[in-house]
Structure 1
Amino acid sequence: MGNRERRTVFVTVGTTCFDALVKAVDSSQVKEALLQKGYTDLVIQMGRGTYVPSKVSRDGTLQVDYFTFSPSIADYVRDTSLVISHAGSGSIFETLRRGEPLIVVVNEDLMDNHQSELAEELAARKHLFCARPQTLGDTIQRMGIDTLTPYVPGDAKPVVTLINKFLGFPDD
């Protein structure tokens, strides 16, 4: 193992079932893209999902581990180099507040998908990258973490404007 620095990718689906995301992360395309970007470990929080990822990567260089639930994802987010998350606002803002690079993967199986609008708006503001399960590998290959803008909590106005837009209220 030597003194090679560990670079962990943490994947979270929150309390939901989002097997499409876990399957995407478990695919050889995504694992290959992560390896090419220099990541060494993959920790998957799989929630209520039934799809179980494989612990051994094809060439054995990406260390994979998974679990179902944790009382807090904060410990995992703190020790990570990249977070791949479902589009739940709690997971998104917890990760952004910690200043970690984030790819939000939108669950297209959810009918009423306000989450995708939030993720796309934050992606447009360059706070995170937005993907679908089927585009995750390409997103990882193309992402430039240095292009992200830190999210500064405290300025509520843009978020309030966004929420008002979702609820159909006019702008001030």
Structure 2
Amino acid sequence: MSSTSRTVFVTVGSTRFDKLIAAVSSQPILHLLHSLGYTHVTMQHGAGPAPTSAASSATAIGVDSYNYKPNLHQDMEEADLVISHAGSGSILEALRLHKKLIVVVNEELMHNHQLELGSALQEQKYLVCCTTDQLEKALSAKEYESLQPFPEPNPSVFANLLDRQLGL
């Protein structure tokens, strides 16, 4: 991609989150992303259906999608903005890559632990957490532009805890 390309990567993980894919591939969201300077959207749609090709045909933003890859690291690394389901693995990968991150909670899941994780990390200003109904507002507000960098992992924390537990 050229240096003027700005990309959005959307991931739903290994399950279905059709509502997120439908929201991002909607005309209003694609037009908004384009107005914010994004030129391309790549969607990992998981077990759900791919976005319709009609969605991108009416906008000046490129859209492509796939269901799964062995590894999403390259797509996240190349993205200027990540819009993700609230799975802990996806969140941590994006945060460790220091990506602007909007986490969209799947409200249809039972015992919505995703909301707890997303809300806690939003309070720390590491990401923006919303529902699919709030996604357009979250993009427009651009709070994702001023997030705090996620701290680098500290391997000595676990080693010290283990040492204390073993009495060393």
TM-score class normalised by the smaller sequence: 0.7 to 0.9
2:129 paired residue number:
130
2:74 paired residue number:
75
Q: Which amino acid aligns with 1:43?
A: T
Q: Which amino acid aligns with 1:116?
A: L
Contact 2:16 2:45 survives alignment (8 Å): yes
Alignment RMSD, CA only? 1.7
Residue pairs, 1:53-64, within 5 angstroms: 53-54=52-53, 57-64=56-63
Question: 1:85 Cα deviation (Å)?
Answer: 0.2
Question: 1:21 Cα deviation (Å)?
Answer: 0.3
SS in 1 for 2:53: coil
Contact 1:22 1:53 survives alignment (8 Å): no
Contact 2:85 2:103 survives alignment (8 Å): yes
Contact 1:53 1:66 survives alignment (8 Å): no
SS in 2 for 1:39: coil
Tell me the TM-score normalized by structure 1. Answer: 0.83
Change (3 A) 1:120 1:140: same
> What per-residue deviation string (whole Å, max 9, x for no partner) do you get for residues 130-169 of structure 1?
111111111101123342000013259xxxxxxxxxxxxx
2:25 paired residue number:
26
2:143 paired residue number:
144
Change (3 A) 1:71 1:55: farther
- Gap runs ≥5 in structure 1: 157-172
How many residues align? The count is 154
- Gap runs ≥5 in structure 2: 156-168
Residue pairs, 1:32-43, within 5 angstroms: 32-43=31-42
Question: 1:58 Cα deviation (Å)?
Answer: 4.7
Tell me the TM-score normalized by structure 2. Answer: 0.85
Question: 1:49 Cα deviation (Å)?
Answer: 0.5
Structure 1 position 92 matched with structure 2 position 91:
yes
1:108 paired residue number:
107
Distance 2:98 2:54 in 1: 28
Greater CA radius of gyration, 1 or 2? 2
> What per-residue deviation string (whole Å, max 9, x for no partner) do you get for residues 85-137 of structure 1?
00000000000000010000000000111111100110111100111111111
Q: Which amino acid aligns with 1:21?
A: L
User: Identity of paired residues, percent?
Assistant: 40
